[in-house]
Structure 1
Amino acid sequence: MTLEAIDVHHSYGYETVFEGVSLSVTPGEVVAIIGPSGVGKSTLLRLLALFDAPDDGAIVYDDDPVWEVSDQRRLEYRRRIGMVFQDASLFDASVRRNAEYGLRVRQSWRERLRHELGGLVGKENGTGAAVDALETVGLREQAEQDASSLSGGEAQRVAFARALAYDPDVLLLDEPTSDLDPRNTAVLEDAVLEARDRDIGVVIATHDMHQAERIADRVGVLLGDEIIEVGPTERVFEDPVDDRTRKFISGELIY
């Protein structure tokens, strides 16, 4: 499924955040959003996650404008999108139970919709999917450990596994490695690439331009209230079209 923001305008009160932002992600690709802190990367992810509606423009899920469909249909789309925040926000439970949480919620929702959707919505094995996701982030052996005993980096890996367990179409990552050490960062980057290999579309907001170079297929540069450039990673970093991109990447353009 393709997820797109098309000519999106958004503001908070009198403060304009975006004036005509467009971005898309397709199955099996990683798109990085780079830009200075406070420019609106997290806001763009919230719009793509269908948490907030844009003031103007459209969020389109596989050619369907999601804010023009029924609430039920929009909820169906929202539950096919995974999001990982900077704060892992784990529950006081085992690592496995935390990793199962999103899938358990979705199973309950699927049961409620089963008859309405003609049996098209299936059930998953929550425990098996969660353990597989923990394997992806290198925490299978800690599955029955209390989540409160984990390090910050391990907790963030559980948060990633929680989103991965229900096999989303799109995975949105908001600075997921900003506070992590190199080892935990490397594990999560490998997990992002594995998600891509499973045909999951990934959008990662990051201030780490080296990370974007390592794992992204395409990069969007968010400056001011617009994405000034988007394109293949190597081209954006080595031969940007917009001179502001070159100045931002080189450190000449300070925000």
Structure 2
Amino acid sequence: MIRLSDVSHSYGDENVLADVSLSVDPGEVLGIIGPSGVGKTTLLRILALFTRPTAGTVDIDGQAVWTLDESDRLALRRRVSMVFQEASLFDATVARNVEYGLRVRQPWRERLQDQLRSVLGSNGTHDAVSEALDVVDMTDKLDQEAHSLSGGEAQRVSFARALACDPTYLLLDEPTSDLDPRNTGLIEDAVLEARDRGIGVVVATHDMHQAERIADRVGVLLGDGFTEIGSTERIFDNPTDERTRKFISGELVY
């Protein structure tokens, strides 16, 4: 599992997170809800090992990440994929965009072997790309140029690119905030399929109804830390913290 223990983070004099502790298991969806500016993206960046927290520890499978040397830390980072709020695709085909992460993460010998298999007509990378695109219903766009996609289609390609790397953990930062209902539904279905494959998924979202639909557990991030983390049903139906209750009911406005 990924575990954060007493993690705090600040940007200069601004405290963003304080004494945050949580764990994420493979095969579960953890929803993080809270208003803008409370540190949801910073929390995801810490989980992705992009950002070193100001204080506290980050463990993956019992290994304290920031005590490791760079090569060992990189090996752990490669087990985590992240999808950002806005899709950022290369000026290339959909297939090339999805396979990019696979090629970067492969050691050079494996990339050479993959190229050879491609020449001989058996390409494992292409199979992984097709499978990931199938999860987001985009196999018919395999050879389409990314610049011609709609915003929702581009975000689904971003999701497929993250999934194709076969991560242990998948982090999603407001992945459907600007999408229409169909694209939102397809990405939510893809999240549930990722969970069923044994991937641990963390979704930061403003949409509380989305968290109710897809999350197994929910953490409510208010101020600079969590008010509580628990099962989705308990958080929405019987929260123990008054701030949680007021936020979910709309009484607490940021």
Q: TM-score normalised by the shorter chain: which range applies? A: over 0.9
Consecutive aligned runs of 4 or more in structure 1 exceeding 3 Å deviation: 108-112
Letter in 1 for 2:7: V
Map 1:1-255 to 2 at 5 A: 2-108=1-107, 125-255=124-254
Once the two structures are aligned, what percentage of the paired residues are identical? Answer: 67
User: If the length of structure 2 is used for normalisation, what is the TM-score?
Assistant: 0.94
CA distance in 1, matches of 2:242, 2:52: 32
CA distance in 2, matches of 1:125, 1:243: 52
Letter in 1 for 2:65: V
Deviation at 1:213, TM superposition (A): 0.0
CA distance in 1, matches of 2:35, 2:19: 18
Deviations 1:221-244 (A, max 9, x none): 000011110000000000001010
Letter in 2 for 1:22: S
User: If the length of structure 1 is used for normalisation, what is the TM-score?
Assistant: 0.93
Letter in 1 for 2:215: A
Deviations 1:22-69 (A, max 9, x none): 121101000000000111100000000000101110111011110011
Letter in 1 for 2:212: E
CA distance in 1, matches of 2:41, 2:124: 32
CA distance in 1, matches of 2:107, 2:63: 25
Q: Which moved more, 1:18-27 or 1:151-160?
A: 18-27
Deviations 1:94-146 (A, max 9, x none): 0011011111101136859xxxxxxxxxxx92211011000000000110111
Q: Which residue in 1 is equivalent to 2:115?
A: none
> For 2:233, what is the secondary structure of its paired residue?
helix
CA distance in 2, matches of 1:110, 1:49: 26
Letter in 2 for 1:175: E
Change in CA separation of 1:58 and 1:222 when aligned onto 2, cut-off 3 Å = same
Equivalenced residue count is 243
Letter in 2 for 1:141: D
Deviations 1:62-106 (A, max 9, x none): 111100111111000001100000111000000011011111101
CA distance in 1, matches of 2:61, 2:108: 22
Change in CA separation of 1:227 and 1:107 when aligned onto 2, cut-off 3 Å = same
Q: Which runs of 5+ in 1 are unaligned?
A: 113-123
Change in CA separation of 1:61 and 1:38 when aligned onto 2, cut-off 3 Å = same
CA distance in 2, matches of 1:184, 1:243: 34
CA distance in 2, matches of 1:207, 1:45: 14
Q: Which residue in 2 is equivalent to 1:115?
A: none
Change in CA separation of 1:181 and 1:80 when aligned onto 2, cut-off 3 Å = same
Letter in 2 for 1:58: T
> For 1:192, what is the secondary structure of its paired residue?
helix
CA distance in 1, matches of 2:108, 2:170: 20
Deviations 1:166-222 (A, max 9, x none): 110000000000000000000000000000000000000000000000000000000
Q: Which residue in 1 is equivalent to 2:116?
A: none
Aligned-residue Cα RMSD (Å) equals 1.2
